[in-house]
Structure 1
Amino acid sequence: MNEQPTVFKRIVTGHDADGKAIVIPNLPPMAMQLVGGPGGPTFFEVWHTAETPALITAQPGAPNEDSLVLAPPGKGTRIRVIEFPPEGDEIRKLTGADAQAKFKFMGNESASTSQDGAPHPLMHRTQTVDYGIVLEGEITMVLDRGETTLQAGDVVIQNGTNHAWANRSGKICRMAFVLIDGRFSPELLPEKK
């Protein structure tokens, strides 16, 4: 069962009419979404930009999205915080179809690479460069060949690799992710079926 998510502040800066830096008041709260029901991670959507270089406006408004979206906007960025509960049987026993359904819920069914014999049922791959920072707890990053455990303060740079996250610690793990839209070089393009 998921613990109550820890609340944190989102502070957005902008500019007043004189061009002086200010905190933007009264922005709607960030979106929070439990993915996959009990035992699944909680996503906190903090912010995203629609392009790079990002358009900087005097009075930025909260980005508008109706639902959880896994990837950043094309040529854009996204920052999110995810709380991973301890992994239980409900995750370990997922089928490939179950995993695809979870990624479909996040708007990217094709990210799922789950198949028989995969190192983890939630293996996935996106055309992004992701910076992941462990804020609290520990988590295991599972790759096609091997895995490594990250602890609070560790940073991972995920370069469009096939991976999954497994929380085997028995406690919540909280991570911040900055996702940057990317494209695969020709040798890394998925094989056409």
Structure 2
Amino acid sequence: MNTQSHPFRRIVTGHDAAGQAIILSEAPPTRSQLVGGPGGPTFFEVWQTLETPALIHPQPEEPEQAGLVLAPPSHGTRIRVIEFPPEGEEIRQLTAAAAQEKFQSMSGGHAATAQAGAPHPLMHRTQTVDYGIVLEGEITLVVDHGETTIRAGDIVIQNGTNHAWANRSGKICRMAFVLISGQYAAELSQPQL
């Protein structure tokens, strides 16, 4: 079972005093966090914006954030990379309360939706549009009524749906996510979970 991770770089650009494009930094992301203990995913927080349209500063500084937060800032965006290790029995046997605790560790307890009979114990839903790109490996996207395995190069457009990620491959899956703050349309404001 391959559970080894390898680092990646975050390259941040900006402008010099004359308005010319420059590279400000070239290094791994400065914030990463293992969620849920051994066997849980590792989140690499790459960047966020606090508003849209995003203000473009000549020399942007590291966006401040207190701890790991599941959703992007309201009216903002976030890009993160998540490394999902192979899913073990400890995940498959989670209770709804234990799953909610894991989401709460990311200020996302309200997003947890698992209940008896749910297709996966880590089902969750956020009021966001997320672009998920598989960089390495494969993972199964589980929704209320179906699932599909996505592989390196595949892209998921997650439209505020109830879902979970299940790595059944035996190897790490690395995905990049662009999270965009959203709002449910009136017909989805009281979703049936």
TM range (shorter): over 0.9
**Contact 2:132–2:177 (Cα < 8 Å) also in 1:** yes
Q: Which residue of 1 aligns with 2:86?
A: 86
Q: Which residue of 2 aligns with 1:127?
A: 127
**Take 1:8 and 1:28, find their aligned partners in 2: how far apart are those partners?**
6
1:4 positional shift: 4.1
User: What is the correspondence of 1:122-161 to structure 2 with a 5 Å cutoff?
Assistant: 122-161=122-161
Tell me the percent identity. 71
Q: Do residues 73 (structure 1) and 112 (structure 2) align?
A: no
**Contact 1:42–1:84 (Cα < 8 Å) also in 2:** yes
Structure 1 residues 132 and 28, CA, compared in 2 at 3 Å: closer, same or farther? closer
Gaps of 5+ in 1: none
Q: Which residue of 1 aligns with 2:63?
A: 63
**Take 1:178 and 1:153, find their aligned partners in 2: how far apart are those partners?**
15
**Take 2:23 and 2:8, find their aligned partners in 1: how far apart are those partners?**
16
**Contact 2:131–2:157 (Cα < 8 Å) also in 1:** yes
Q: Give the partner amino acid of 1:13.
A: T
Query: How does the TM-score come out when normalised to structure 2?
Result: 0.95
**Contact 1:10–1:30 (Cα < 8 Å) also in 2:** no
Q: Which residue of 2 aligns with 1:17?
A: 17
**Take 2:28 and 2:39, find their aligned partners in 1: how far apart are those partners?**
27
Q: What is the Cα-based RMSD across aligned positions, in Å?
A: 1.7
1:30 positional shift: 2.3
1:108 positional shift: 1.2
Gaps of 5+ in 2: none
Q: Which residue of 2 aligns with 1:96?
A: 96
Range with bigger deviation, 15-24 or 182-191: 182-191
1:190 positional shift: 2.6
**Take 2:2 and 2:55, find their aligned partners in 1: how far apart are those partners?**
37
